[in-house]
Amino acid sequence: FSRALPLPILSTIFAAILFYVRPDDLPAASGRPGIDNEPGYPAAAIRAPYPFQVFAFIVGFMIVYRTNYSYARWWEARTGIQQMASKWADVFIFSASWDAAANPPGKGEELGMLFRQRLLHLISLMHSLAMMGLRGDKDLTNLSPHNTKQKEPHFTGYCSGGPMFCPGEHRWNSARGVSQMFELSTRHLSRYHANTPVPVIGGLSQREIDVLESVESPVLGTFERHKDDGKAFENIPMLEDAGSNFQSIDELVFFVQAQVHWLVVKRRLEGGINVSAPEVSRIWQVLTDGTLGYMHARKIVDTPFPFPHAQMIILALVLFAFFCPIVMVAYLSEAWLVISLNFVTTWTYFGVNEVCRELEDPFTYDPNDL
């Protein structure tokens, strides 16, 4: 709402100036009642709004196209994260059910329980890291323990100093998030992320945070150890500037996914999940399907709306904000009508465009985002 105000306000001020200080070459339009009968009516008057209507129609068509395209992006992103959550939940359901059935009470029950608890924690951590990566949050301290007994608010907001929900602070930060007239600062984004942590079943210990922050890539580590071996890696491009640590949350998602693979395989070798191979393959299938949903959502994040089209829309809106007051002053004889209709018209165009901008990037930081 507020980001759409600046130019409509300037346009309305321009309309008021034109109305009260009318230039000689801007007479009233011939469509105003009784104007044609006035003596000395200039022939160069604005006799019809049709030229402006053509331009207004083109601008409106461009915004409608952007609206449809933006909502399609938003809905595809929503579908992707729902598929991700659903399929990764299936991984736990399949594994836990088959493991519990393969280990009757009294025979490896404790090991089975530990396996299921660990698997649930890893899948929840994988999902939480994915959501953090989509919103551009790299701070692992923004992961919080999931409280199954607490009813989550519509916007999951917590005080940064503890797990207790703080309605006052949350409402203030949410209001700030939607009241910015321009883009939010990096400092504000960091505060908003800290105030809206992503829950993890079982929480995340400091040791786990240290491991995730210092985990090494085995491939890059192998390159570093054997880069002087000559022909052993002669056909593999060397990444001289690549570090040995993972640099993004997205890479940590795949690291945790590898841990899920390892845990399930290890449990099966221990005698758990004692079902046929085709049934076990379903675990890998739904795990991959969940990752596919995540990558579909990641595609939306990594591929912005075409910049030339967005640039043309902004330019057209600026021109619309300039020409709209001229037409309003030419056809309206009351100041309050000129001011109110000019503001409502220009603000509507700019407001719809801002809605499109919000829908195009569904995972960032605003309270209405996914």
Helix, strand, coil tally for the chain in percent (to 5)? 65, 0, 30
* Range of 105-109, 307-311, 312-316 with top mean pLDDT: 312-316
Name the residue among 245, 273, 229 with its Cα closest to residue 119: 273
CA distances (Å), origin 100, targets 47, 118, 129, 170, 264: 82, 14, 28, 41, 13
Lowest mean pLDDT among 68-77, 136-145, 340-349: 136-145
Higher per-residue pLDDT: 30 or 65: 65
pLDDT attached to residue 319: 95
Determine the Cα–Cα distance for residues 193 and 166; give it in Å rounded to an integer: 15
pLDDT attached to residue 62: 92
Tens digits of residue pLDDT in 296-311: 999 998 888 888 888 9
* Residue 252 C-alpha from the chain's centroid: 19
Beta bridge partners of 144: 199
pLDDT attached to residue 303: 87
pLDDT attached to residue 230: 45
Lowest mean pLDDT among 83-87, 150-154, 163-167: 163-167
Name the residue among 36, 60, 33 with its Cα closest to residue 324: 60
Longest Cα–Cα distance in the chain: 106
Is 0.85 topped by the overall pTM? Answer: no
Name the residue among 56, 86, 41 with its Cα closest to residue 326: 56
Name the residue among 367, 124, 122 with its Cα closest to residue 264: 122
What average pLDDT does the segment 92-114 reach? 81
pLDDT attached to residue 168: 47
Determine the Cα–Cα distance for residues 177 and 338; give it in Å rounded to an integer: 32
User: What sign for the dihedral angle of Cα 367, 125, 209, 216?
Assistant: negative
What average pLDDT does the segment 212-224 reach? 57
Check pLDDT > 50 for residue 33. Answer: no
Lowest mean pLDDT among 86-100, 174-188, 251-265: 174-188
What average pLDDT does the segment 66-77 reach? 91
Helix (H) or strand (E) holding 199: strand 198-200
Tens digits of residue pLDDT in 156-201: 444 433 433 444 444 444 444 444 444 556 666 777 777 778 888 8
What average pLDDT does the segment 105-118 reach? 80
* Residue 127 C-alpha from the chain's centroid: 16
Determine the Cα–Cα distance for residues 327 and 331; give it in Å rounded to an integer: 6
Name the residue among 322, 247, 347 with its Cα closest to residue 3: 347
pLDDT attached to residue 53: 86
Give the model's confidence band at 362: pLDDT under 50 very low, under 70 low, under 90 confident, else very high.
confident
The per-residue pLDDT of the chain, averaged, comes to 77
Q: For a pLDDT cut of 70, what percent of the chain falls above it?
A: 69
Give residue for tokens 């025979």. 107
